[in-house]
Amino acid sequence: MRLVIAIVQDKDAAKMTEQLIKNEIRATKLATTGGFLRAGNTTFLIGIEDERVDQLLQIIADSCRSREQFVTPNAPLGNQVESYVSYPVSVQVGGATVFVVPVDRYEHF
């Protein structure tokens, strides 16, 4: 059993939810916020059997696409004071950021 944590853009969340249901994959959706853009994104927690992880990763890859976003970050891009920026910069967001972690034990009561 693995826990797949997938952070996706809100725009891709509906399509991914639809695909998970279609493939009978159980998931929990959390409304989350990106630390850099400080904009909403969606995090899926998905408990899945080892042998289905590759299938799930393919579903995530097919459901999510990369987008360019222009932002005016109020955050440092480096560790120098002068690297604080106040002008729009372009960042490539997504497709998806995915962590696959082992599950020691799974119970469903």
Q: Is position 13 an interface residue for ligand 2BA (rule: CB under 6 A)?
A: no
Nearer to ligand 2BA, 58 or 83 (CB): 83
Pairing of strands 89-93, 96-102: unpaired
What torsion, rounded to 10 degrees, do the Cα atoms 7, 33, 39, 5 define? Answer: 0
Q: Which stretch binds ligand 2BA (CB under 6 A): 11-19, 21-29, 33-41, 51-59?
A: 33-41
In the complex, the residues that contact ligand 2BA under the rule CB under 6 A are 7, 34-37, 41, 77, 91-94, 97
